Amino acid sequence: MRPESARQELRVKTLKIDGRDLAGREDQTILNVARENHIRIPTLCQFEGLTNYGSCRLCLVEIKGVAKLLTSCTTYIWEGMEVTTNSERLVQYRRMLLELFFAERNHICSICVANRNCALQGLALELGITHIRYPYLYPGLGVDSTHDKFVLDHNRCILCTRCIRACSEIEGANTLGMKRRGVNDQIITDLDQPWGTSPTCTSCGKCVNVCPVGAIYERGMSIAEGRREHTFLPLLRIMRGER
């Protein structure tokens, strides 16, 4: 938590987002300011109450004078910046990113617990994705169903790390982690052991609630039953006196 004196030193920056004149504090990201002003930017790995990680790239925006696209969830505002959140170029990139997510693992909505409660599926609908232009990889990944309460299906995972961040930043258990690199990344529990044998997991279920897809869910859930509770993390932060 920032000391009171540090908070008071934060300066206000003025900027334009999609042609609108706006202002924000210097410790705010473009995404923060956009949301405060009801400007929608698609996100997947970002989750209110967790640190921003910048892995999914869905929240890319154009900034005048900057050659490359930047992620709005990890880019802090600066004085005079001019941001475009929704151009044809950005839509094309977002579609491509989503298609690559679908091609990378085995996302078959019709038999998924998160069907109709899935951020990946929701964004695909929003951006009008009707087919995938890239070859499916069809990896043969495992399902860890050794835990008493939860199941981890690596086939559905989009490697957003929301579960890892919730486990370490909110619960403080540090049970979940990541192994390997790139397309071979995989969520692990403790030292890559079956989840049910983990001595650190508190079975709190925060990982289940922050998972945007059907990768982590409660045992016994069937197709389309994977509803998530999304409001508790920001509340926990407020109760702890964090910003």
Interaction site with ligand FES (CB under 6 A): 43-46, 54-59, 71, 73
Task: Give the shortest CB-200-to-ligand FES separation in angstroms.
Answer: 27
Task: Give the shortest CB-212-to-ligand FES separation in angstroms.
Answer: 10
Is 123 or 151 the residue whose CB approaches ligand FES more closely?
Answer: 123
Is 92 or 203 the residue whose CB approaches ligand FES more closely?
Answer: 92
> Are 30 and 77 a contacting pair, CB within 8 Å?
yes
> Are 109 and 226 a contacting pair, CB within 8 Å?
no
Task: Give the shortest CB-90-to-ligand FES separation in angstroms.
Answer: 13
Strands 60-63 and 82-84: antiparallel
Place of tokens 């085995």: 106
Task: Give the shortest CB-101-to-ligand FES separation in angstroms.
Answer: 11
**Which pair of tokens denotes residue 162?**
């929301």
Is 120 or 207 the residue whose CB approaches ligand FES more closely?
Answer: 120
**Which pair of tokens denotes residue 43?**
């996100």
Task: Give the shortest CB-119-to-ligand FES separation in angstroms.
Answer: 10
Place of tokens 């690596």: 154
Is 59 or 114 the residue whose CB approaches ligand FES more closely?
Answer: 59
Which residues, other chains included, contact 231 with Cβ-Cβ below 8 Å and sequence gap of 6+? none
Torsion sign (Cα): 155, 191, 159, 48: positive
* Of 56, 51, 42, the residue nearest 185 (C-alpha): 56
Is 54 or 234 the residue whose CB approaches ligand FES more closely?
Answer: 54
